[in-house]
Amino acid sequence: LAFVVIVIGGIGSIRGAFVGALIVGLVDTLGRSSMNDLLRLFMSAPSARAAGAALSSMLIYLVMAIVLFVRPEGLLPAKGRA
């Protein structure tokens, strides 16, 4: 998880690591709280609980992939690296 935070924020950037940690925390918390409700629209409650936990954990890595696609150097790269 620490690697994901550093990659999202930008390797070598303290501010980037802080921003990355905030983003990962928000995505994880919001995913865990709302994924079950969202999946319950499409499947039974026990299935939604089981799938919701797995999918909410995957959201963090999906965010990392999107950040790497859009900004390969991270959101706030270290000075001199961009």
* pLDDT tier, 81 (very low <50, low <70, confident <90, very high otherwise): low
Q: What's the chain's average pLDDT?
A: 91
- The pLDDT confidence band at residue 15, using thresholds 50, 70 and 90, is very high
Which pLDDT value is given to residue 36? 87
Q: How many CB atoms lie within 10 A of CB 78?
A: 16
Instruction: Say how far apart CA 60 and CA 68 lie, in whole Å.
Output: 12
Task: Tell me: pLDDT of 80 over 80.
Answer: no
Better-predicted residue by pLDDT, 48 or 65: 65
Q: Which residues contact 64 (CB under 8 A, 6 or more apart)?
A: 4, 7, 8
| Cα–Cα dist 13/34, whole Å | 31
Which two three-digit tokens encode residue 47?
A: 């299935």
